[in-house]
Amino acid sequence: MSIDHPSFGRMDANRVIIFDTTLRDGEQSPGFSMNLAEKLRMAEALEELGVDVMEAGFPVASKGDFDSVYQIAQKVKNTVVCALARSGGKNDIASAGEAIKPARRGRIHNFISTSPLHMKYKLRMEPETVLEVIEAGNRAARQFTDDVEWSAEDGSRTEPDFLCRCVETAIRAGATTINIPDTVGYSTPEDMARIFADLRARVPGADGVIFSTHNHNDLGLGVANTIAALKAGARQVECTINGIGERAGNAALEEIIMVLRTRHDVLPYTTGIHTERLLRTSRMLATITGFDVQPNKAIVGRNAFAHESGIHQDGILKNAATYEIMTPESVGWNRSSLVLGKHSGRAAFRDKLKAMGYENLEEAQFNEAFSRFKDLADRKKVIYDEDLVALVDDEVRDHARIRFVALDVTAGSRRPATADLVLEVDGKREEGHAEGQGPVDAAFNAIRAIVAHDATLQLYSVGAVTEGSDAQARTSVRLEEGGKLVDGQGADADTLVSAVRAYVHALNKLLVKRDRAEPAALDA
C-alpha cells in the first residue's frame, strides 16, 4: 500500500523516512552545544548523508535557535527542514512558521504531553483541554505549511483509548505525520509493536498518514524499539548521529540504517541514506561537540572492525565474512596504507585528508593543519591516522570568540607552577600570567585572568591519541555554569597545550550557551 505525503509525494509502502534530530534533540545532550556556523556545517553533512528530514531547532526557545533554523532553511536544498513547537505555546507555532519560511520544503513539528503523569503534574490540564490544544495547534500549523507533524509526548505511557482520541484529533486537524515517542525510554519492543498496531487498526484516517517512532535509550532499547515500530507499520524513524540526546540519548541513526541494510532479508525497507558517509558524519559531530564516540560503539567506534582474538584474526584472514557481517568500507572506514612523515608535501597531506573524509576544509584551516602536521612530524617518528584526525579536528572546530595562540609554563617540586598564556579574544591579542598548584592549574588560572568567568571545572581527562611516549595527548574538559554543561576537547603533542585547547573549546561553547533560555512553561 502506498501513501501520499505533502513533502514526498506517493511513497512506496516499504520506504522509510529518516528524520534526523541531531540538531535539536541531540544538541540537548548535557555538555553538548553548537553555534550557528557549526549547525550549518552539520546540516550540510546531514543533507549529503541523505536524511529526508532534519529537525533544525526550537525557534521560540531563543533568537539563536530561530536564526539557526532560518539559515539552515535557506541553505538546505533537498532535505525537509523541520522546526519544533509546542501545540499550545503562545508564540511557538508562529515562530516555527517564520523560521522555516525560506525552506524549499518545510515542516512544523508540534507536540504536547498525553500521559496521565504528564498531564497531571507537568501540564496541569484535563484530558479534554489537551484534545482542544491538539486541534488548535495543528490547525495553526497548517496555516504555514501542508507538512505538519504531531507528537504525543510520553506517548508510550499514555492510556491506549486516550491516545487513539489524540491521534484522531490531530489527523482531523491536519497533521500528516503522527509521532508516538518513547520519551523516557521505558518501553520494550513488544510495547511499541502493540501501540502502533493498535493505532493503525482503531483510528479513523490512520491509513492516510505516516506514523513515526522516536525512541530514547534509557534502557538500551532505542534501536530495538525502532525496528519493532517499523515492523508494526511505522514508516518514519526519528534518530540522531552517534545516538546523542537527552539523558542516555536517542536511537542511533547509523545503527538503524545498518540493521536495515544488513538484515534486509527480514526487514525489506529502503532509505535514502548514503552509508559510506556514516563514519565521516559521525566524526564531524564528535569534532563539533567535543565528545568522542566510545571505542566499542557499533558501526562507527574505532573497535567496530578491530579483531584481537587469534581465532578471529585467523578467520578474517581466510574470509572476512567469518567475523564481519558488513564491510568497513560500506560505512566509510578507509584501509589506506599511505604513510605520512616529515618529508610529505601539501599535496600528499591534502590527499590523505580527503581519503579520511576531510573534503571541505577552508584554506586557512588547511594551512594551519598542515603547519601543525609538519611540527608534529618533526617530533614524532610515525604519524598515524589518529594523529591527523586529532590535529585536524582542532582546526575545523569553529573557534568563535577565543583562540589559543601560545603557552609557556614553568613547574617543578621546589616552587609554584606559573603559566604565561596568549589568547586571541574577539580578534584582539591578550596575555595572562598566573600561578597554580601545578602546571595545569596555573594554565587554567591564566585563562581566567584573560577571560573572566564563573564556570567550574567538572571534568578533566587526558588520554593518548596513539601509543608511545611521543604520542599526542587528547584532553577532555567539562565546564559548568548556572546549570549549563559544556564539553571541550583539544589535542597536541604537549599535554599542557592540549589541556588549554580543550578548556578554550569548552569556554567558546559556554559563551554560545549563555544566550539560550528555556521558553516559558505552558499555562493550564
**Type of residue found at 98:** E
Residue 250 among known ligand-binding residues: yes
pLDDT, mean over the chain: 89
Read off the pLDDT of residues 44-101 as tens digits, 9 standing for 90 and up.
Answer: 999 999 999 999 999 999 898 999 999 999 999 999 999 999 999 889 999 999 999 9
Angle formed at CA 189 by CA 252 and CA 278, multiple of 5 degrees: 15
Q: Which long-range contacts (CB under 8 A, 24 or more apart) does 449-456 make?
A: 449/421, 450/421, 450/423, 450/425, 451/402, 451/423, 451/425, 451/507, 453/481, 453/507, 453/510, 454/481, 454/482, 455/479, 455/480, 455/481, 455/507, 455/510, 456/480, 456/481
Give yes or no for residue 337 having a pLDDT over 60: no
**Domains defined for the chain, CATH in brackets:** 14-289 (3.20.20.70), 310-393 (1.10.238), 402-515 (3.30.160.270)
The answer to whether the CB of 106 falls within 8 A of the CB of 133 is no
Q: Which residues are bridge partners to 84 per DSSP?
A: 109
Decide the pairing of beta strands 80-86 and 53-57. parallel
Cell of 460: 578533566
**Pairing label, strands 456-464, 473-481:** antiparallel
Confidence of residue 429 (pLDDT cuts 50, 70, 90): very high
Give the model's pLDDT for residue 308: 47
Predicted local distance difference test score (pLDDT) of residue 316: 46
What is the per-residue pLDDT across 253-302, written as a single tens digit (0 to 9) for each? 999 999 999 999 999 999 999 999 999 899 889 888 877 788 889 998 87
> To which residue does cell 484534545 refer?
131
As a whole number of angstroms, the distance between CA 460 and CA 441 comes to 11
Mean pLDDT check: name the lowest of 24-38, 217-231, 404-418, 447-461.
24-38
Per residue, the 3-state secondary structure of 236-271, as one string, reads EEEEEHHHCCCCCCECEHHHHHHHHHHCCCCCCCEC
Contact 87, 133 (CB under 8 A): yes
Q: Is 274 annotated as a binding residue?
A: no
Task: Please compute the mean of the pLDDT values over residues 17-26 and round it to a whole number.
Answer: 96
